[in-house]
Amino acid sequence: MTTEDFDALVDLVLTSKRQPPSVLFSGGFGDWHARARLGHFLAMQEIGKTEEALALFHSVLDQEVDEGNSEDIEEKIFALQRLSEIEHAAKENDAALEHINLAIELAEGTDYLYKFILRGELWAARWNILHDMGRAADAEAECDERIAAYENIPVKHNSYLYYGYRFKAQLAAERGVVLVAKDYMHMALHEMDIPAKYEEALEEAFSATHENASWILNEIDRATPRPELFSWDI
C-alpha cells in the first residue's frame, strides 16, 4: 500500500456513514496507529474493504509499543484481535491463532486494566479458534486452568470467569446437556451487575424447557447486556 492509497482510503472512511474524526488518521501512512485505526473502519461490513484492512493490520505486527503507555499497548492488542477475528471468519485458523496468541502475550505482559480490551475475551477467542481446529479438548483444558487460576481472586467483575464459564456453556450445549449449559451461563452472568431492565428477558431465556441448548444460549446472549458496557476488575 502506498501513501496515496492510504490517503484515498482515509477519504473513503471520512465520507462514510461512520464519519470518524479526521484527527484519528492525522499521523498519516507512516504512523502505525493511524494505519491500525483505518484498518478497523475498513473492516466494517458497511465499508467492506477487508483486504485493505488486512494489509494495514499486518503492517502493525512488527511495530514496537511504549511499554509505559497502556493506551499504546491496548491499541496494538486491539489491532491483533481484529486481525485474528477476520482470519478466523475466513477459516484461516493457523494465522488467526498466531495473531490472537500475540494479542494475549502482549496483554498478559502488563498489569494494566485496559479501557476496552478484556483479557478473558482474548482467551475465549483462542479457545474458539482451537475448537474450530479440532482441538476442543485442548481449549477446554486451558479454559479449566484459567478458571482455576482466577476463581478465588477477590474481585467482583472477572472477565476470565465470565468468558471461561461462557465457553464451558457452549461446550455443554454442543453435547446436548441443557441444564449444565444453563448452570455455566448463570455462573458467567454472576460476574456482571445485570441492570433490572434485562432481568425479564433473561428469565424468559433461561426458563425455556426445550432441548435445543444452542438456541437457548443464543437467546441468553441476546438478552444479556454487551460486556463492553460494564466496568471489569480484571
3-state secondary structure of 177: coil
Please provide the DSSP assignment of 39-63 as one string.
HHHHTSTTT--HHHHHHHHHTTTT-
Q: What helix, strand, coil percent values describe the chain, rounded to 5? A: 65, 0, 35
Residue 208: its pLDDT value, please?
93
User: Which cell numbers hold the place of 22?
Assistant: 479526521
Residue 229: its pLDDT value, please?
87
Tell me which of 7-16, 59-68, 92-101, 224-233 is least confident.
224-233
Q: Mean pLDDT, to the nearest integer, of 155-181?
A: 96
pLDDT, tens digit (0-9, with 9 covering 90-100), for 197-208: 999 999 999 999
Residue with cell 477477590: 154
Residues 6+ apart with CB under 8 A from 103: 77, 80, 81, 84, 122
Q: Mean pLDDT, to the nearest integer, of 26-54?
A: 97
Please provide the DSSP assignment of 130-150 as one string.
HHHTT-HHHHHHHHHHHHHHH
Taking 90 as the threshold, does the pLDDT of residue 22 lie above it? yes
pLDDT, tens digit (0-9, with 9 covering 90-100), for 114-141: 999 999 999 999 999 999 999 999 999 9
Read off the pTM: 0.94
Per-residue burial over 199-219, b = 16 or more CB atoms within 10 Å of its CB, e = otherwise:
eeebeebeeeeeeebeebbeb
Residue 175: its pLDDT value, please?
94
